[in-house]
Amino acid sequence: MNYAELVKLYFERSNALQWYWTIYVLVIGGLLAFSSLRKREDLLTALLVTLLYALFAYKNLGAIHDVTDQRTAVRSAIGEYAPGSTEAAEVQRLRPGLEPTLDAPAYGGIRNFHVTCDVLTIAALWAMEWRRRRLSNESRKTAVRAE
């Protein structure tokens, strides 16, 4: 594998990582939209949606972890690459400008951000469910008083 192929692989892994984050954001948005549009309280639906979201978030974080590890490995290979005589001049010309830009955030920070977003998403789901329950109870009390 030559230098250009390693750089291409690094950016392919970066694109894969971006897609995992895009899917993650779309799922959160769809989930919150679904939850906000529900009118009736339903504990079973709230529990099921929470469980399914938690499973999705777990698998998504695992995929992000794998791709982050792959990017790190490719970045290391790029830094250690010893060019052959035919490409040495080009690699030496590209290295100083390219390699410093290939730094990725540490996985610990990525994990913490993901888990924080997961907790906030689940809290928002349950806040909406509890609001539906409170409004439903108030409606029942108002209906009983009206009778």
- DSSP string covering 36-105, please? HH--S--HHHHHHHHHHHHHHHHHHHHHHHHHHHHHHHHHHHHHH----TTTHHHHHHHHHHHGGGG---
Tell me what the mean pLDDT of segment 110-132 comes to. 96
Task: Report residue 85's pLDDT band, with 50, 70 and 90 as the boundaries.
Answer: confident
pLDDT at 147: 66
> What's the CATH number where 10 sits?
1.20.58
Tell me what the mean pLDDT of segment 75-104 comes to. 89
Q: Considering the entire predicted model, what is its pTM? A: 0.85
Task: Report residue 115's pLDDT band, with 50, 70 and 90 as the boundaries.
Answer: very high
- Report the share of the chain in percent with pLDDT over 70: 99
Domain range for 71: 3-146
Domain count, the chain: 1
